[in-house]
Amino acid sequence: MKALEGEQILMRVFLGEDDWTKGRPTWRVLLEMLREQGVAGATVIRGIAGFGAKSLLHTGNLLRLSGDLPMVIEVVATEECIDRVRPMIDELLNEGLVTLEKVRVLRYSPKKHDDQKE
């Protein structure tokens, strides 16, 4: 496990559930790429509704034509790590939004199993 402490970078990648890259969901391709690149961790969050640059409302409501729900991939990593994967993300995204902000990591540790001693 990589140590993460102190000031780090939070990167959020906003995309749609129906976005595809290389014949697969873009969120899945990005998640696997981040793992292969040794990122300490990433979380994919599926939104219940949202809209983007085109102001088209995306919702899970069956009465709406667009179900393309919003997806967000969150990554906390060192600035060097983020700088390394950003070009790969740009290459994989057809559209979307990527944001960066500084965060302070207070705790980063795996869950202890009952058979592990402190």
**Per-residue pLDDT reduced to its tens digit, 80-116:** 999 999 999 999 998 889 999 999 999 887 777 666 5
- Residue 25's domain comprises 6-105
Task: Kindly state the average pLDDT of the residues 10-25.
Answer: 93
Q: Tell me whether residue 115 is in a domain.
A: no
Q: For 59, what's the count of Cα atoms within 13 Å in the CB-facing half-sphere?
A: 8
Task: Kindly state the average pLDDT of the residues 44-71.
Answer: 71
Q: Tell me whether residue 39 is in a domain.
A: yes
Q: Which of 88, 106, 113, 108 is nearest to 98 (CA)?
A: 88
Q: Are 35 and 41 in contact (CB under 8 A)?
A: no
Q: For 97, phi and psi rounded to 5 degrees?
A: -140, 135
Q: Tell me whether residue 74 is in a domain.
A: yes
Q: Is the pLDDT of residue 75 over 80?
A: yes
CA atoms of 68 and 34, how far apart (whole Å): 23
CATH for 69: 3.30.70.120
CA atoms of 5 and 43, how far apart (whole Å): 18
